[in-house]
Amino acid sequence: MTTETILEGQVILIDKPLTWSSFQAVNKLKYILKHQYDLPKKFKIGHAGTLDPLATGLLIVCTGKFTKKITEIQIQAKEYTGTITIGATTPSYDLETEIDATFPTEHITEALILNTSQQFIGEIDQKPPVFSAIKKDGKRLYEHARAGEEVVIESRKTTIYEFEITKIQLPDINFRIVCSKGTYIRSIAFDFGKALLSGGHLTQLRRTKIGSFSVENGVSPEKFDNLPKSILQ
């Protein structure tokens, strides 16, 4: 890479570590690029799709003129792998908050799990988690939630192209999902538990693909100093 190619535009594939925010990952890259390539203070850089701090995996970062491609990248199908833990729910639908209710699991069989997963394939109605960054009345939903305020969340349509159960070791169910933009995997975990007549929450999540971009070609922000050419598209 050179100063000129960065300003003209690069697509950089990052494997975001656990507990890092997407903002932190982009800021780390911005710091490295500015200091290694003597870039202008306000050079353009941004990511194509937020990952929660408790998720790992593919974060696509665009620089320079390629920031115009962000919307085009964001609308592509995304692939995730992860784990749903059955028998309990949390307010955030994941491990950000503590368990608030427990449910029976004795009736749950492998056949029930596989059959239930098929109910989620296609266009579905989904309510985003209350602990999300969607704005309601001028505030993020998570701001309302942390203030103890109740808000009405409207459902939205999303599409699940593939929902594969890869391993069952109750209470944990491993999965692979391919879905459209705007899908909340945390909501799928909650709804999946409910469909099993139990409860569920997301305990692990990794984004593996966005369109043709794969996390296999990505590096962690901390290794970006020795960035291989293979992650430049």
Positions marked catalytic: 52
Angle between helices 110-118 and 185-195 (to 10 degrees): 130
- For residue 10, which of 41, 51, 39 has the smallest C-alpha distance? 39
* Single-letter code of the amino acid located at 75: I
Look at residue 231 and give its three-state secondary structure. helix
Residue 84: CA atoms inside 13 Å, Cβ hemisphere, count?
Answer: 33
Residue 161 and residue 152: Cα distance in Å, rounded? Answer: 28
